[in-house]
Structure 1
Amino acid sequence: MGKVICCKIILIVIFVTSTEGNVQGRKENIEKSLQIIHEVAIKSFNILCAGKDYKPLSVTISTVRFDSARQKADLAATLLQDLGVAHHNGLQDAIAKNLLVSESSVLSARVLAINASSGYLANTAWWQRQGVELEGPKKIEKSISLEPGRRIHYPWYEDPDTSPSLRSPKFMEGPLNVTYKGWWTFPYYSCSARRWLMSYSVPIPPPPGRRGLKGFLSLDIDISHLEVNQCEKTIQNRQNEISVFHGTHKCHNTTSRCIYGAHILPKWSRGRYQCVCRDGYYSPHHGGIFNGTLVEVAWQQKEENITDTWDLIFECKKCEPGCHTCIDQSPCLATYNWPFRITLLVFSVSCAFCTMILNIFMFKHKRLKVFKVASPIFLSITLFGCATMYLEMAAIFPVLDTYSCIATKWSRHLGFCITYTALLMKTWRVSLTYRVKSAHKVKLTDKQLLQWMVPILLVMLIYLGTWTVSDTPTAEDILDNEGLRFKQCVYNWWDHSLAIGEVLFLAWGIRVCYNVRNAESLYNEARLISYAIYNIAIVNIMMIAFHLFIFPRAGPNIKYFLGFIRTQLSTSTTITLVFGPKVFRVLRGQGDQWDNKARSRGVSASFSLNGIGLVPEEAPDLYQENEELKEEIQKLAAQIEFMKIVHMEVNNRHLKPKTGGYFSSVNAPTVIHNPSAKTGGCLLAKAEDL
Structure 2
Amino acid sequence: MLLCGRGIVWAVGVIALVCGMPRPVGAGTASQEMDSVETKEQVLREVSQMSTGNLGTICMSEPFYRFAWAPLQVSRFDSARQKADLLVRILRDLDDLSDTSLVERMVQGLLASDGRISAARVLLRETASSAPGRMRLVLTHRLVSPYTPTEPTPQVVTTTPKASVVSSKPWYIGESETSRNATRFQKHNISGSIGWWTFPYFQCKSRRWLLSYAVPILTQTTSNRGRRTTMRDVGMLSVDVDVTSLDINQCDRKSDKATPDSQISYFHGTHKCDRNSSVCVFSPGHGWVQGGYKCKCKTEYFPKDKTFNGSLVEVAWEGKQVKNPTYEMLYVCRSCPKDCPNCTSDKPCVAHYNWPFRIALLTISSLCMVFTFVLMGMVYHYRSVKVFRLASPTFLCICLIGCAIMYLEMAAIFPKLDMYSCVATKWTRHLGFCVTFSSLLMKTWRVSLTYRVTSAHKIKLTDKQLLQWLTPILLIVLVYLGAWTLSATPGTDVITDYGGLKFKQCTYDWWDHSLAMGEVLFLMWGVKVCFSVRKAESFFDEAKYISWAVYNIAVVNIVMVSFHLLILPKAGPDIKYLLGFLRTQLSTSTTVLLIFGPKFYRIVQGTGDQYDNRARAKGVTASFSLNGLGVMNDEPADLSQENEELKEEIQKLAAQMEFMKIVHMEMNNRHLKPKPGGYFSEKNSVMNTAQSPGAKTVHPPTTKTSEASNENSSARLSPAAELASERV
The TM-score, its normalising length taken from structure 1, stands at 0.79
Tell me which of 34, 39, 49 is aligned to 1:39.
49
Aligned residue for 1:292? 310
Tell me which of 84, 88, 104 is aligned to 1:73.
84
Change in 2 beyond 3 A, CA 1:182/1:300:
farther
Alpha-carbon distance, 1:543 to partner? 1.0
Tell me which of 521, 543, 552 is aligned to 1:535.
552
CA displacement, residues 435-467 of structure 1 (integer Å, 9 cap, x when unaligned)? 334444333322222232223223333333333
Report the Cα distance in structure 2 between the residues aligned to 1:308 and 1:93, rounded to whole angstroms.
Answer: 61
1:203 matches 2:220: no
Alpha-carbon distance, 1:626 to partner? 8.8
In the TM superposition, 1:204-219 aligns within 5 A as 204-209=217-222, 214-219=234-239
Give the AA of the match of 2:275: N
8 Å Cα contact 2:441/2:526 also seen in 1: yes
Aligned residue for 1:186? 199
Report the Cα distance in structure 2 between the residues aligned to 1:631 and 1:555, rounded to whole angstroms.
Answer: 65
CA displacement, residues 513-559 of structure 1 (integer Å, 9 cap, x when unaligned)? 23333332111112221221221122112111111111111112211
Give the AA of the match of 1:434: Y
1:259 matches 2:284: no
Report the Cα distance in structure 1 between the residues aligned to 2:703 and 2:351, rounded to whole angstroms.
Answer: 85
8 Å Cα contact 1:442/1:612 also seen in 2: no
1:115 matches 2:135: no
CA displacement, residues 61-114 of structure 1 (integer Å, 9 cap, x when unaligned)? 222322222222222222223446636544422232123321112112223222
Aligned residue for 2:292? 272
Mean alpha-carbon deviation: is it higher for 305-314 or for 72-81? 305-314
Identity of aligned residues (%): 45
Mean alpha-carbon deviation: is it higher for 437-446 or for 366-375? 437-446
Alpha-carbon distance, 1:568 to partner? 0.8
Alpha-carbon distance, 1:235 to partner? 6.5
Report the Cα distance in structure 2 between the residues aligned to 1:589 and 1:156, rounded to whole angstroms.
Answer: 116
Aligned residue for 1:422? 439
Mean alpha-carbon deviation: is it higher for 242-251 or for 405-414? 242-251
Alignment RMSD, CA only? 4.0
CA displacement, residues 149-207 of structure 1 (integer Å, 9 cap, x when unaligned)? 522246652453632113433322315x7452222222233223332222222222232
Aligned residue for 1:388? 405
1:106 matches 2:117: yes
Change in 2 beyond 3 A, CA 1:84/1:420:
farther
In the TM superposition, 1:369-384 aligns within 5 A as 369-384=386-401
Change in 2 beyond 3 A, CA 1:431/1:170:
farther
CA displacement, residues 312-365 of structure 1 (integer Å, 9 cap, x when unaligned)? 543222122222234443222222222322222222111112122111111111
SS in 2 for 1:162: helix
Tell me which of 516, 521, 529 is aligned to 1:499.
516
Mean alpha-carbon deviation: is it higher for 248-257 or for 621-630? 621-630
Tell me which of 226, 249, 252 is aligned to 2:271.
249
Tell me which of 441, 459, 463 is aligned to 1:442.
459
Mean alpha-carbon deviation: is it higher for 121-130 or for 587-596? 121-130
Aligned residue for 1:53? 63
SS in 1 for 2:32: helix
8 Å Cα contact 1:446/1:610 also seen in 2: no
Report the Cα distance in structure 2 between the residues aligned to 1:327 and 1:593, rounded to whole angstroms.
Answer: 73
CA displacement, residues 404-452 of structure 1 (integer Å, 9 cap, x when unaligned)? 3333222222222221122122222223333334444333322222232
Mean alpha-carbon deviation: is it higher for 374-383 or for 507-516? 507-516
SS in 2 for 1:276: strand
1:160 matches 2:174: yes
Tell me which of 240, 247, 250 is aligned to 1:230.
250
Change in 2 beyond 3 A, CA 1:583/1:247:
same
Mean alpha-carbon deviation: is it higher for 611-620 or for 113-122? 611-620
Report the Cα distance in structure 2 between the residues aligned to 1:657 and 1:93, rounded to whole angstroms.
Answer: 165
Give the AA of the match of 1:198: L
Alpha-carbon distance, 1:212 to partner? 6.9
Give the AA of the match of 1:255: S
Alpha-carbon distance, 1:618 to partner? 4.0
1:521 matches 2:538: yes
Aligned residue for 1:682? none
Report the Cα distance in structure 2 between the residues aligned to 1:609 and 1:467, rounded to whole angstroms.
Answer: 43
In the TM superposition, 1:296-307 aligns within 5 A as 296-302=314-320, 307=324
Aligned residue for 2:106? 95
8 Å Cα contact 2:390/2:632 also seen in 1: no
Change in 2 beyond 3 A, CA 1:376/1:222:
same
Report the Cα distance in structure 1 between the residues aligned to 2:703 and 2:99, rounded to whole angstroms.
Answer: 162
8 Å Cα contact 2:137/2:158 also seen in 1: no
Give the AA of the match of 1:204: I
Report the Cα distance in structure 2 between the residues aligned to 1:208 and 1:159, rounded to whole angstroms.
Answer: 21
Report the Cα distance in structure 2 between the residues aligned to 1:267 and 1:168, rounded to whole angstroms.
Answer: 29
Tell me which of 462, 466, 474 is aligned to 1:457.
474
8 Å Cα contact 2:80/2:111 also seen in 1: no
Report the Cα distance in structure 2 between the residues aligned to 1:330 and 1:248, rounded to whole angstroms.
Answer: 34
Report the Cα distance in structure 2 between the residues aligned to 1:236 and 1:656, rounded to whole angstroms.
Answer: 127
8 Å Cα contact 2:493/2:504 also seen in 1: yes
Mean alpha-carbon deviation: is it higher for 596-605 or for 191-200? 596-605
Alpha-carbon distance, 1:272 to partner? 1.6
Give the AA of the match of 1:115: E
SS in 1 for 2:219: coil
1:433 matches 2:444: no
Change in 2 beyond 3 A, CA 1:27/1:98:
farther
In the TM superposition, 1:577-616 aligns within 5 A as 577-600=594-617, 605=622, 607=625, 614=632, 616=634
8 Å Cα contact 2:351/2:573 also seen in 1: yes
In the TM superposition, 1:310-389 aligns within 5 A as 310-311=327-328, 313-389=330-406
Q: Structure 2, unaligned stretches of length 5 or more?
A: 1-29, 223-229, 657-696, 705-728
Change in 2 beyond 3 A, CA 1:433/1:484:
same
Alpha-carbon distance, 1:287 to partner? 9.6
Report the Cα distance in structure 2 between the residues aligned to 1:456 and 1:518, rounded to whole angstroms.
Answer: 28
Change in 2 beyond 3 A, CA 1:75/1:136:
closer
Give the AA of the match of 2:46: I
8 Å Cα contact 2:251/2:293 also seen in 1: yes
Aligned residue for 1:678? none
8 Å Cα contact 2:409/2:424 also seen in 1: yes
8 Å Cα contact 2:259/2:265 also seen in 1: no
Change in 2 beyond 3 A, CA 1:570/1:154:
farther
8 Å Cα contact 1:272/1:293 also seen in 2: yes
8 Å Cα contact 2:534/2:544 also seen in 1: yes
Report the Cα distance in structure 1 between the residues aligned to 2:61 and 2:395, rounded to whole angstroms.
Answer: 102
Report the Cα distance in structure 2 between the residues aligned to 1:21 and 1:157, rounded to whole angstroms.
Answer: 23
CA displacement, residues 356-402 of structure 1 (integer Å, 9 cap, x when unaligned)? 21111111111111111111111111111112212222222223333
Aligned residue for 1:466? 483
8 Å Cα contact 1:115/1:213 also seen in 2: no
Give the AA of the match of 1:253: R
Mean alpha-carbon deviation: is it higher for 98-107 or for 613-622? 613-622
Tell me which of 282, 285, 309 is aligned to 2:302.
282
Report the Cα distance in structure 2 between the residues aligned to 1:249 and 1:154, rounded to whole angstroms.
Answer: 34
Alpha-carbon distance, 1:571 to partner? 0.7
Report the Cα distance in structure 2 between the residues aligned to 1:240 and 1:481, rounded to whole angstroms.
Answer: 53
Aligned residue for 1:509? 526
8 Å Cα contact 2:104/2:156 also seen in 1: no
